[in-house]
Structure 1
Amino acid sequence: MRRPIDSLFGRLALLVVAVLLLSHFAWYALMRLERNQLQARYAVEEATFLVDAVRQHVVRNPDQPLPSRVKLVDPASAEVPPESPNMSPPLERFLEDVRDRMPSGTQVRAGLPGGPPTLWVRGTADHSWIVVPVQPLRPPRSLDRTVLWLIMIFSFAVMAALFAAWALQQPLRSLAQAVARFGRGLPVPPVPERGPRELRQLTHGFNQMVQEVARTENDRAVMLAGVAHDLKTPLARLRLRAEMMDEAKMRDGVVRDVDSMTHIVEQFLVFAHDGADRSEPVEVNAQCERVVRSYRAVASGAPTVETDLRAGPGFCLPAATLDRILSNLLDNAHAYGAPPIVVATARTAEGFTLSVSDNGKGIAAQDLINASRPFVRLDPARGGNGHSGLGLAIVERLVRRAGGEWEIGNHGGRGLRVLMSFPFSAVPQVKAASESVW
């Protein structure tokens, strides 16, 4: 199951959102802390200024009344608040800051709780307590506009960052898709070179590699096809001359050898063919039944071939590709395996499967890696006349070209099994029959 977090864009998005969220939260916490400190400093400055203003007013204009909420209280009055040892840390810091701004020996107290916040100050030269109003140190604040602006800025930042992450991963996604196509043996068009410098260099190197591999494959295919094509004419003349021989035993032997060589040449031509299969897609189940029926009727001494077709009508492949896959695997099972040979299809959660298995001796575990390599013939159990070592290599190339994957191995000690898997995205759809025209 594909998870979004496993993709580059998913991880970049998660990283970007986490970093932005952390930075915005830290910024918001720092802003509120700084605002509280600024408010506390402002309250200290304001209280200090009011106390100095009252002192100057008393000295210069003793007969003039004081402003409202500012008063002088006799030290013996019962209104004087006691010095409370149990104060909140913010209030204690506030009183300490005010005390530091006053002359040495100044008494600083806070007003009684329950009323308007006041500050009581009495210096060594003061005859009375000076009472001035102060701002609340921690007034209740709603998260109103600050949080609203913070959410807006965070949303725009996330959208811009996600767009940047998407633009960054797009070239990598195109390159990954091209690498996947190249790994399946499909034609790969040049990937656009875009993105950061390192990514452009990587894409340029991949394009060069694809071009060199394609050029090498083309040269090899042309050489192989040319040699195989040139051999067909002398083989045909050789077969004609062999059939004109008088001695039957020698004639049959030569004809068998010519047929084996012709089969090898045809395998060369199929392997060298690198074009896309343009044949119409057919239902795999129905085509398997037809191929197996034809194989039973034509192949001399063919072993028992059974079918177990459960994929349903949705499983379709190009007709030519499917015929070549089945013919090569059936020939391989007929030559090296033992009956019964089973052709099976199935539908899975990811797509469809097609398998061909026999009940022979199978292939040794150390030889499974080399079984599908071109021109490799496993000795001694899997050799024979008329075989070029291309059968399984052709099947692998055809399966990958059709967008599937294949797996070769011995199944439960009962011979060789070739299992081919085709995801839903790689399965072509059968065109609906055209409606009758009245």
Structure 2
Amino acid sequence: MFSPLSAARRAARFAWYRSGLFWRTFLLMSALTAASMGSWIGMISVFQRGPQVQQTAELVGSVVTLTRAALIHSAPAQRLELLLELVSNEGIRVLTLNEDDIVEPPPNTPLMADIATAVRERLGKQTRFSSGVNGVPGFYISFNIDEDQYWLMLERERLAGLTRVQWLGWATLVGLLSLIGAAFISSLVNRPLARLTAAARAIAKGEKPVPLPEKGSQEIVEANRSFNQMVDDLAQVEKDRAVILAGISHDLRTPLARMQLELEMVELPQDAREGMQSDINQMDAIIGQFLDYAKPTDAATFVSVNLSEMLSDVGREAGRIRDLRVKVD
């Protein structure tokens, strides 16, 4: 059982993965690239193994056959010169095979096993292989001349293909290039979404965002074009709302002006006059609030309000109602 603290730590550790599309896309593309590289290397190993075995077996068989034939048919006085020429020009050494030789076994790999089988089919089942004789490394193949046995040593460089270190180096280079490409592609995919998110946040704050660029893939172009159209529609709705509210407020202030004029001309008790004047002022303030509401958010004016005075005005107005007693401290 895991404690809540350890679960919280695991959740915080992988929060960066869940937080954005960039890392998800990057990791998925990296995993896909690694799987593709593994499959590619496996396919190359499988399809290259057969030709490599055949080519190596033909090379070894030809070298051993030609060297054996040259030694058999050469004059005894010229054999030493022939052996020196093979060493200096071809990198081939011929040594006597003795029973007390310290023989190191060949590499225990599937490739070497296939090469040995193919070479024995050409030279005979008695052919032996070694990776070193008497402490001297090389690729050794045994052969016979009459009753005598010899070692033929080839330089490993002539037979070696790509080593594991070379394979690892190439795989690392390709992997780094693939990761850079995955990061670049993930950034290209994530950038339009980041712009869209920033524009949506600007709308949520009551601001008008910068129009999104209508370029890129077809899906991104359609999404940005629709978003820009939505922003324009919202701006037009805001303008229409402001015009409508301004018109309504203007139409309401016209009768208020007439009521104010009649109030000034008619003879009324002081209490009634003050009450009607207060109602007219209150209606005019409501109309002013409509006008402020009709303005855009960035053009609206905000003033400080004294809550004590506002509550006193409310209590005074409420005191005009019959059978209602209001006490203001």
TM-score range with shorter-chain normalisation?
0.5 to 0.7
Equivalent of 1:195, from 205, 216, 233?
216
Give the deviation of 1:56 after TM superposition. Answer: 2.7
Q: Secondary structure at the match of 2:128?
A: strand
Indicate the structure with greater strand content. Answer: 1
Q: Is the 8 A contact 1:51 1:130 kept in 2?
A: no
Q: Secondary structure at the match of 2:117?
A: helix
Q: Quote the residue 1:178 is aligned against.
A: 199
Equivalent of 2:83, from 44, 64, 67?
67
1:7 paired to 2:20: yes
Distance, in Å, in 2 between the alignment partners of 1:107 and 1:276 is: 96
Q: Quote the residue 2:151 is aligned against.
A: 131
1:45 paired to 2:58: yes
Change in 2 beyond 3 A, CA 1:92/1:212: closer
Give the deviation of 1:247 after TM superposition. Answer: 4.8
Letter of the 1:211 partner, please give it: D
Give the deviation of 1:9 after TM superposition. Answer: 4.0
Q: Quote the residue 2:129 is aligned against.
A: 110
Distance, in Å, in 1 between the alignment partners of 2:164 and 2:280 is: 96
Distance, in Å, in 1 between the alignment partners of 2:96 and 2:75 is: 11
Distance, in Å, in 2 between the alignment partners of 1:258 and 1:194 is: 57
Alignment of structure 1 residues 242-261 onto 2, 5 Å: 242=263, 244-247=266-269, 251=273, 254-261=276-283
Q: Quote the residue 1:296 is aligned against.
A: 308
Q: Is the 8 A contact 2:101 2:134 kept in 1?
A: no
Letter of the 1:272 partner, please give it: A
Change in 2 beyond 3 A, CA 1:257/1:87: closer
Q: Quote the residue 2:327 is aligned against.
A: none
Q: Secondary structure at the match of 2:127?
A: strand
Distance, in Å, in 1 between the alignment partners of 2:253 and 2:19 is: 53
- Which has the larger Rg? 2
User: Normalising by structure 2, what TM-score?
Assistant: 0.63
Letter of the 1:176 partner, please give it: T
Q: Secondary structure at the match of 1:190?
A: coil
Q: Secondary structure at the match of 1:131?
A: strand
Q: Secondary structure at the match of 1:230?
A: helix
Q: Is the 8 A contact 2:102 2:135 kept in 1?
A: no
Indicate the structure with greater helix content. Answer: 2
Change in 2 beyond 3 A, CA 1:298/1:81: closer
Q: Is the 8 A contact 2:245 2:294 kept in 1?
A: yes
Q: Quote the residue 2:320 is aligned against.
A: none
Q: Is the 8 A contact 1:43 1:134 kept in 2?
A: no
Equivalent of 2:288, from 250, 253, 266?
266
Give the deviation of 1:21 after TM superposition. Answer: 6.3
User: Normalising by structure 1, what TM-score?
Assistant: 0.49
Change in 2 beyond 3 A, CA 1:114/1:142: farther
Letter of the 1:271 partner, please give it: Y
Equivalent of 1:276, from 298, 306, 319?
298
Distance, in Å, in 1 between the alignment partners of 2:267 and 2:172 is: 95
Letter of the 2:94 partner, please give it: V
Change in 2 beyond 3 A, CA 1:114/1:229: farther
Change in 2 beyond 3 A, CA 1:161/1:213: same
Alignment of structure 1 residues 280-429 onto 2, 5 Å: 291=304, 294-297=306-309, 299-300=311-312
Q: Share of identical aligned residues, percent?
A: 26
Q: How many residues align?
A: 284
Alignment of structure 1 residues 86-105 onto 2, 5 Å: 88-89=108-109, 91-102=112-123
Deviates more, 1:22-31 or 1:114-123: 22-31
Letter of the 1:50 partner, please give it: V
Give the deviation of 1:199 after TM superposition. Answer: 0.7
Q: Secondary structure at the match of 1:187?
A: coil
Change in 2 beyond 3 A, CA 1:196/1:233: same
Q: Quote the residue 2:9 is aligned against.
A: none
Give the gaps of 5 or more residues in structure 2. 1-11, 85-92, 316-329
Give the deviation of 1:44 after TM superposition. Answer: 3.2
Letter of the 1:181 partner, please give it: A
Distance, in Å, in 1 between the alignment partners of 2:286 and 2:313 is: 21
Q: Quote the residue 1:120 is aligned against.
A: 142
Q: Quote the residue 1:412 is aligned against.
A: none
Give the deviation of 1:228 after TM superposition. Answer: 0.6
Offset from partner CA, 1:123-162 (integer Å, 9 cap, x none): 9xx6443532244487996958983x77666666655654
Distance, in Å, in 2 between the alignment partners of 1:185 and 1:99 is: 85
Deviates more, 1:62-71 or 1:138-147: 138-147
Q: Is the 8 A contact 1:99 1:108 kept in 2?
A: yes
Distance, in Å, in 2 between the alignment partners of 1:226 and 1:160 is: 59
Change in 2 beyond 3 A, CA 1:139/1:220: closer
Give the deviation of 1:272 after TM superposition. Answer: 0.9
Q: Is the 8 A contact 2:242 2:295 kept in 1?
A: yes
